[in-house]
Every structure is written in structure tokens, then in C-alpha cells.
Amino acid sequence: MSSVSAREGYETVIGLEIHVQLETRSKMFCGCRVQFGAPPNTHVCPVCLGLPGALPAVNEEAVRLAVLAALALNCEVHRRSVFARKNYFYPDLPKGYQISQYDRPLATDGWLELPAVDSRPACRIDVQRLHVEEDSGKSLHDRFPGQTAVDLNRAGVPLIEVVTAPDLRSPAEARAFLGRLKQTLEYLEVSDCNMEEGSLRVDANVSVRPHGSVELPTKTEVKNVNSFSQLEKALTYEAARHVAILESGGRVQHETMLWDPARGEARPMRGKEEVHDYRYFAEPDLPTLEVTEGTVAWAAEQIPELPWEKMRRFQADYGLPAYDAEVLSATRPLAAYYEAVAHACSDPKAAANWVMVEVQAVANERGLAVTDLGVEPEQLAELIELVGAGTLSRLLGKQVLRRMVETGKTAAQIIDEEGLRKVSDERQIDGWVSEVIAEHPKEVERYCKGEEKLLAFFIGQAMHKSQGKADPDRLREALRAAMGRLDDESAGSA
């Protein structure tokens, strides 16, 4: 049996554990500030350093954000839940335990819809639990040669952990689900979900079984996956490794694998790093976590229109194709920007094209988000109207957009100051056309012999001469007419 058909005989089973840093000003159990990139050990206090006798107190803001996330993931939020100590030794965990939640988590039994992936239609992925916990510190291996330093700024930063059921059936589905979850949490504004800064981290459980089997085979856990593409690669690698083991008659060991993105392979974590017995017990320094009806009601009100709802509405309200609606609802700020442009101009489809294509292109060049370019929606709408009315060609419109970004001026100001109005004057256009014809005798000959697609070449040349100002319709007409005259002449002289 070839390795390809072997893999085809198996089904991959994946569950995800996702840690998300909540966007609060202070830590989970103390008043220290949360600030990524601060000098090491500058945001610490006796509580997050784990000094004897220091007492934790719950950050209510973190609880509110966790409840909001839980409701949006369709979870049952428990009015009473319990903090628990997860005991383990690690250099960046000075207390010797992490305050987490164990047998009585904040929320359980939710789901999130996974969009259609490949041949599988959209379906619900069960969210088994969502709990609140604190982050550990960070070991720094690159500060002092041969030594490891510890930065405890991150110790005590609030996290939620979201655990899915093993409902995902391919690395591509896992990636799509993570994307949907990230987008949802960003819409909720509970986290910036910045994967590079570690605000969103994912561990994956993976196993493979023969197609048709329903039992849950031995799984491995893959850690240290820090981007969407690495998640897909790591899971593909790990599933193939399982298949190879099963095909050779072996047994998959239950172990934790560390993904190495540089080498593109997963290695078992060294035994001593793996801890099976955390000796959980209820945190004696904290009372039962009580979520009031008021908090749940507040959270329910905070849930905004979510991306897939927005996408449907954009299709209905603005007549956008599904693709445009999806792109424009990717983030909440982008969606709000598009809507403001669409409201301010008469053509929502044109508004969609401008935002998705031209404005996005300028934003990409500058490494900015569309909403950070400094072009107000009303200003963009004005530009779109000027192009729509024929005052500017589309090409000129693009130039004007660039100038708007550079100068902060409006389209009308730029057109006035730079004399950019579209030129429709017959004599001027004929002048450009004559020059182009005179400069390209070979192309003219080919055109006259029937190579009509060269018309686009002449239009491009003449447009260049006009610095983008020529009215493209008039230019095309003038070129056709001039070529027609040449044709007649050559026919006459033949």
C-alpha cells in the first residue's frame, strides 16, 4: 500500500485548546499593569511574584470579558465557579502553582459554527469549556549567553482557556476554526488576539483512526504552535506520523510534542517537562467566583453584530457579492469604515471596490490598516462620486487617493491645486494620439494587419502621455478613428 492511499484510509481527529489573553489594564489577581514589551520585571508586585503572605483579589473586568466571550461562544455561564491551584514547578512560575479553574469552570457546553471547509458543509464545533486563569512568566533564553533569564511581567496576566471537543477532521478545519474564533473574539474586543505577541496561543490534540471507526484513539498534544500556517503544518506532520506508526504495526504513545517551526517537525518534550499530576485543589485564598445576573445581562448587551451576521447583512443591504461582504466584514473597524463610505456615497458596490482594492493597496504599501490611512469615509465617498460622475478617470482617481493620503487634503482640493481634472478636449486628445502613432510605426502596422488587441497598448501609451488625465472613452474613440483613417490610407495606396 502506498503512503498516499494509507493516509486516505484514515480520518484525522483534532481538538484545540486555545489560550487568549484578556485585554484588561491590570493583571488577574493584582493591580500590576499589563503591558507587552515593557522592560523585564517592571510590572510585578508581591502577589504576582508569589511572595509568602500576599493575597490575590479577582479582577472584575477580566471576569466580565470572560463572561462576554462565553456567551458569544454559546456557553452556559455558571453563576458559581471555583478557582483551583494547578501545582507544578517551572522557573517562570514562582508560586509553584498557577491559579486556574478545574472541575468547576466558569462556562461549559458551548459551540461555534465552523464555516464550510473543502467538502464539509458548515457545522457546529462544540466548545466543552471556557475557564479563567492567570498566565505564567516568560523564560528568556537570548539575554545572557548560556543562561536563562526570567521575566515576570506576564505572570498573573488574565487568560481564558477555550477547549473544543475533538470535532475537527482536518488540519484545514482546525485552521479555519481558529480563524473564526479569533475573529469572533476580536469583534467582542475581549482580546487583541495578537499571535506574535502571544495574546492567542493554541495547543492541539491530534489522533488518527481508520475511516468509519468511532473510537477515540491515542492522541498526542502538539504545543508551541504560534501561527495559522504553523498550526496547519504541525497537524499535517503529526497526523502523518501517526499514520506511519499505525501502518508499521506500532502504537502511538500518549505524549506531548513540541513543534519546531524552523525544522518543520514535532519532537517529544523531554520527560521532566511533562507533568501528569497537577494535584489540583480549590484555591484557599479566593472565594467562590460569583457571576451576578447583572454581569450576564451586561455581557448579553455587549455582544455586537458578529462577522457572519454582518456579512449576510452587507449582501442584503448593499447588494454585495458574498466575497466582498466577507472581505469587508473581516474586522469590526474595516466593516464600520466601509459602511460609513457606503452611506456617504450613492454607489455601495463602487464603495466596496474602492475600499477592498484601491484603498487596501495603499494601506498595504504603507503597512497600515485601511482605517489608519487618515482618509475619512466622507472624503473617500467624495472621491468615488467624482470618479463615478466622470470628473476623474479611475486612474486619476487612484492618483488623487494617494495624494489624499500624503497631504490629508480632500479630492476636490487636490484636483483644483494640481489641475488634475479629466481632459476631454478633442484637440488635446488628438494631439496625444498623433504622437503615439508617430512613435510606434511597427505596432501601427501590426494593428492595421488585424492585431486589434494592440489598441490597449496605444491607449496605455496615450494615457501615459496625458499623465492619466485623458478621458479613457474619448481616447479610445479618437484612437479607433485615427487607426481607421490609417487603414483607409494604406488600403488606398495599395
CA distance 485 to 271: 85
Strands (DSSP E) contained in 53-122 are 76-77, 80-81, 83-87, 97-101, 107-114
**Cell 487568560 appears where?**
159
CA 76 to the chain's CA centroid? 27
**Which residues lie across from 266 on neighbouring strands?**
259
Please say which residue, 30 or 71, places its beta carbon nearer to Zn ion: 30
Residue type, 477: E
Please say which residue, 132 or 193, places its beta carbon nearer to Zn ion: 132
Residue 282 in contact with Zn ion, rule: CB under 5 A: no
Binding to Zn ion in span 298-337, by CB under 5 A: none
Q: How far is the CB of 54 from Zn ion (least distance, A)?
A: 9
DSSP letter, residue 354: I
**Which residues lie across from 116 on neighbouring strands?**
none
Please say which residue, 23 or 173, places its beta carbon nearer to Zn ion: 23
Q: Are 348 and 318 in contact (CB under 8 A)?
A: yes
Please say which residue, 41 or 74, places its beta carbon nearer to Zn ion: 41
Please say which residue, 51 or 300, places its beta carbon nearer to Zn ion: 51
CA distance 298 to 344: 32
Q: What's the N-to-C CA distance of the chain in angstroms?
A: 72
Q: How far is the CB of 44 from Zn ion (least distance, A)?
A: 6
Q: How far is the CB of 47 from Zn ion (least distance, A)?
A: 5
Site track 449-468 with Zn ion (rule: CB under 5 A), x = hit? --------------------
Tally of CB atoms within 10 A around 124: 13
Q: How far is the CB of 57 from Zn ion (least distance, A)?
A: 11
Given the rule CB under 5 A, which of 45-53, 213-221, 242-250, 297-305 is the region that contacts Zn ion? 45-53
CA distance 229 to 259: 12
Q: How far is the CB of 264 from Zn ion (least distance, A)?
A: 39
Alpha carbons within 13 angstroms on the beta-carbon side of residue 229 total 4
Binding to Zn ion in span 171-230, by CB under 5 A: none
Q: How far is the CB of 33 from Zn ion (least distance, A)?
A: 9
Please say which residue, 54 or 369, places its beta carbon nearer to Zn ion: 54
Residue 48 in contact with Zn ion, rule: CB under 5 A: yes
Given the rule CB under 5 A, which of 38-46, 125-133, 161-169, 399-407 is the region that contacts Zn ion? 38-46
Q: How far is the CB of 29 from Zn ion (least distance, A)?
A: 8
Coil, strand or helix: which one is 233? helix
Phi and psi, residue 94, nearest 5°: -65, -25
Site track 11-30 with Zn ion (rule: CB under 5 A), x = hit? -------------------x
CA distance 260 to 267: 8
CA distance 99 to 95: 10
| Binding test (CB under 5 A) with Zn ion, winner from 17, 19, 45, 465 | 45
Cβ contacts of 193 within 8 Å, gap of 6 or more: 20, 182, 185, 186, 199, 200
Given the rule CB under 5 A, which of 42-50, 366-374, 446-454, 456-464 is the region that contacts Zn ion? 42-50
Q: How far is the CB of 192 from Zn ion (least distance, A)?
A: 21
| Binding test (CB under 5 A) with Zn ion, winner from 22, 28, 32, 84 | 32
* CA-based nearest residue to 36, from 190, 193, 149: 193
**Cell 493583571 appears where?**
27
The CA distances from residue 5 to 118, 201, 206, 240, in Å, are 19, 33, 20, 12
Query: How many residues make contact with Zn ion (CB under 5 A)?
Result: 5
Q: How far is the CB of 155 from Zn ion (least distance, A)?
A: 8
Please say which residue, 48 or 257, places its beta carbon nearer to Zn ion: 48
C-alpha cell recorded at residue 305: 453584530
Please say which residue, 47 or 168, places its beta carbon nearer to Zn ion: 47
Tally of CB atoms within 10 A around 8: 12
Q: How far is the CB of 50 from Zn ion (least distance, A)?
A: 10
Given the rule CB under 5 A, which of 48-56, 201-209, 380-388, 425-433 is the region that contacts Zn ion? 48-56
Alpha-helical regions (H) of 358-471: 360-366, 377-388, 394-407, 411-418, 426-439, 441-448, 455-465
Q: How far is the CB of 152 from Zn ion (least distance, A)?
A: 9
Binding to Zn ion in span 52-81, by CB under 5 A: none
Please say which residue, 30 or 84, places its beta carbon nearer to Zn ion: 30
Please say which residue, 56 or 307, places its beta carbon nearer to Zn ion: 56
Please say which residue, 30 or 483, places its beta carbon nearer to Zn ion: 30
Residue type, 47: V
Residue 130 in contact with Zn ion, rule: CB under 5 A: no
Binding site for Zn ion (CB under 5 A): 30, 32, 45, 47-48
